[in-house]
Structures are given as structure tokens and as C-alpha cells.
């Protein structure tokens, strides 16, 4: 999906958007500043629509609050979904960004082994 297509999708009138949008790696191929723009559009659209995003980009998740992130892990072919609890990361977040915690495997989400 090109930058323009992503933007046009998220700029549709509320009545034209589906109630659920699932976007796989919406930040892929974007300039770092464009990631800020796309996350702003996602936030605006999410006021009236449920949006599920999948990403492997640690910098992308820095645009979201920990409570908005669900970490998916897979063991023996079974996926488990875990919502991040901000209170368990309070001390960590004083010194590290959410992406740094992901990179350090504090919040999980490692690839299958």
C-alpha cells in the first residue's frame, strides 16, 4: 500500500470507513516523519472506528501508549495475546522508550524460535 493510499483510506469520511480496519505494517517504507503523520491519522480515525495494527517496527510503537499495545507471541504454533500494563513498566518507562523495552525483550514479542 503506497503512502497516498494509506492516507486516503484514513482520511475518508467517518460514514465511509468500515467499523474495523486491519492494517499490516502501515509504517513500512515510510520516511520517519511520515510515521508521525500516519499515526496521527490512525488516531483520528480510531475515534469512530476500531483499528488493529500489526507491526515489527519498534520505532512505530513509540507513537502509542503502552495500554494501546497488545504483544503477540507464538509457542508451538499457538498465538497468545498480552496487553501491556503500564503500571508494571512505570520504572522502566522513566529511563527507556517503549521501543527500547521491546528491543530489550522486556515486553516480549520475540520471533518464533
The C-alpha atoms of residue 34 and residue 28 are separated, in whole angstroms, by: 10
Q: Does the pLDDT of residue 109 top 60, yes or no?
A: yes
| pLDDT for position 1 | 55
Closest CA to 5 of 63, 14, 28: 28
72 - beta bridge partners? 81
Summarize the confidence of residues 84-99 as an average pLDDT.
Answer: 89
| pLDDT for position 94 | 92
22 - beta bridge partners? 52
| pLDDT for position 7 | 67
Reported as a pLDDT band with limits 50, 70 and 90, residue 98 is very high
| pLDDT for position 75 | 83
Q: Is this prediction's pTM over 0.85?
A: no
| pLDDT for position 113 | 57
User: What is each CA distance from 9 to 21, 29, 42, 57, 74, in whole angstroms?
Assistant: 10, 17, 10, 21, 31
For the segment 29-70, what is each residue's pLDDT rounded down to a tens digit? 899 899 999 999 999 999 989 999 999 898 999 999 998 999
Amino acid at each position: 500500500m503506497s503512502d497516498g493510499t494509506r492516507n486516503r483510506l484514513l482520511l475518508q469520511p467517518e460514514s465511509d470507513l468500515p467499523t474495523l480496519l486491519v492494517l499490516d505494517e502501515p509504517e513500512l517504507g515510510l520516511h520517519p516523519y511520515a510515521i508521525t503523520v500516519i499515526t496521527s491519522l490512525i488516531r483520528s480515525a480510531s475515534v469512530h472506528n476500531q483499528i488493529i495494527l500489526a507491526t515489527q517496527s519498534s520505532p512505530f510503537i513509540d507513537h502509542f501508549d503502552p495500554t494501546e499495545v497488545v504483544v503477540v507471541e507464538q509457542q508451538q504454533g499457538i498465538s497468545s495475546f498480552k496487553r501491556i500494563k503500564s503500571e508494571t513498566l512505570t520504572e522502566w518507562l522513566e529511563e527507556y522508550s517503549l521501543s527500547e523495552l521491546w528491543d530489550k525483550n522486556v515486553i516480549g514479542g520475540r520471533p518464533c524460535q
